[in-house]
Amino acid sequence: MTPIDDSSSNSRRKFFKKAFASIALSTTGIYSVKAFSSNSPSFAGEREAIRITRLEIFKVKPRFLFLKVHTDQGIVGLGEPITEGRADTCAAAIKEMEPYLIGKDARSIIHHWQALYRHSFYRGGPILTSALSGLDQALWDIKGKALGVPIYELMGGPTRDRIRVYAHARTAESIKKAKEQGFTAFKTGVRNATQSGVIATQKFVEEATADFAELKCAAGKDGDVGIDFHGAISPQTAGLLIHALEPYQPFFIEEPVNCQNVDIMASLARQTHLPIATGERVFTKWGFREILEKQAASVLQPDLCHAGGIFEGRLIAGMAEAYYATIAPHNPLGPISLASGLQLAACIPNFLCQEQVTLGEGYIKTPFVVKNGHVETPKGPGLGIELDEDAIADKLGHEWHNQESYLNSDGSVVDW
């Protein structure tokens, strides 16, 4: 046996110790510096906690709710914990979580999610999971900033260089305008959907189809147009309308019936070659399990402000991949929601397209830019955005409420 050269071994240890310290100092995050400090007893030594000190919640026009999680290290995480039309209720839910969170280490993201979800006893629902979603976003933002890397780097690294986004459009003119801004994918709704009734007339189906055909013509054969039934179309009408739309090849049919009617949605999915999409009102991995098991949709649309946050979205994407389903994160909200969706899109293999209604102008210091239908994968640490406090100052506060819809013929309540 060759004897060990102690002097050579010591030299190697010193070399690697200096190398690790050099790597640590090259990052921007205090977390990394603490982890690899030469004073640490080992590579996996004790790391200084990042303690949560304060939660700050504020409403932002037109209907957003922003969260700031403050820490004793000066790092502030951003989240968007909102159920549309229930901003004050979600804010109250966040405040109820504050006694648990204050003083806790912000790095234990999954542990805190599990504790707040399971210890509530009454699990799930839009308010709890929306509050948890915003908190999850903020804690991942903190961890990414502490380490000096985007969140997607902590979830396996990037799977793409660019992320496709789509715009909302109700008219041919709005599609043309969005195309000029760089978009290649769009989403519209069903013409006069709230007045379709339980059994729609032939006229309704024909007019709704003709309206979509006009939009598809404006988008062109190389453009994609999804159509959102918004869960407002009856099962009796949905099948007729889907069949009528098939020649125009919609990008997807979103919420063809109410999302809770999974068996009917699965039946509709078996009757058409068009992709069925759903998910904005489905919460957590447990909610999406039934959708996948019954093959009710092949495009899942978890809303990262409702479904449980970024990591829960990653788990849902993994489940979807096993069923050969794709992910198109739902997002009719603000720039924090968009940034969260982009982080998820950047690290999953089965991504389709990201919804957006604002690229961040007037909210964040560096808004996203669309080019050839895509935005660049974010490069900054955490969520990769910074709020523009001056620009937001005149947007604070709102009293946004969900719309009320009634059937014109008899005044009964209808879905919107």
238-265 average pLDDT score:
96
Residue 364 within any structural domain of the chain: yes
Of the pLDDT bands very low, low, confident and very high (cuts 50, 70, 90), residue 370 is very high
Residues 155-182 have pLDDT tens digits of 999 999 999 999 999 999 999 999 999 9
What pTM did the predictor assign? 0.88
Token digits of residue 66 = 């922003």
Q: Kindly give the pairing relationship between strand 299-300 and strand 326-327.
A: parallel
Residue 414 within any structural domain of the chain: no
Between CA 405 and CA 397 the distance in angstroms is 25
Please name the residues in contact with 94: beta carbons below 8 A apart, sequence gap of 6 or more.
55, 57, 67, 81, 131, 134, 135
Residue 352 within any structural domain of the chain: yes
Report the pLDDT value the prediction gives residue 416, as an integer from 0 to 100: 83
Residue 232 within any structural domain of the chain: yes
Cα dist from 363 to 92, 136, 186, 401, whole Å: 24, 20, 23, 21
Catalytic one of 230, 243, 273, 374: 230
Task: State the chain's mean pLDDT as an integer.
Answer: 90
Domain count, the chain: 1
Residue 262 within any structural domain of the chain: yes
Please name the residues in contact with 18: beta carbons below 8 A apart, sequence gap of 6 or more.
none
Report the pLDDT value the prediction gives residue 46, as an integer from 0 to 100: 54
**pLDDT for residue 30 is more than 70:** no
- 330 is known as an active-site residue: yes
Domain that holds residue 175: 152-383
DSSP code of residue 201: -
The alpha carbon torsion through 163, 169, 174, 179 (nearest 10 deg) reads 20
E strand map for 49-117: 52-60, 64-71, 76-79
Cα dist from 398 to 59, 168, 230, whole Å: 6, 23, 24
Report the pLDDT value the prediction gives residue 47, as an integer from 0 to 100: 74
**pLDDT for residue 22 is more than 50:** no
Between CA 404 and CA 356 the distance in angstroms is 24
CB 179 within 8 A of CB 370: no
CATH number at residue 162: 3.20.20.120
Q: Give residue for tokens 């003083």.
A: 103
- The residue among 294 and 13 whose pLDDT is bigger is 294
The CA angle 262-280-144, to the nearest 5 degrees, is: 135
Residue 277 within any structural domain of the chain: yes
Residue 10 within any structural domain of the chain: no
Residue 362 within any structural domain of the chain: yes
3-class DSSP assignment, residue 62 = coil
Catalytic one of 70, 112, 306, 330: 330
322-343 average pLDDT score:
98
Residues 75-97 have pLDDT tens digits of 999 999 999 999 999 999 999 99
Of the pLDDT bands very low, low, confident and very high (cuts 50, 70, 90), residue 365 is very high
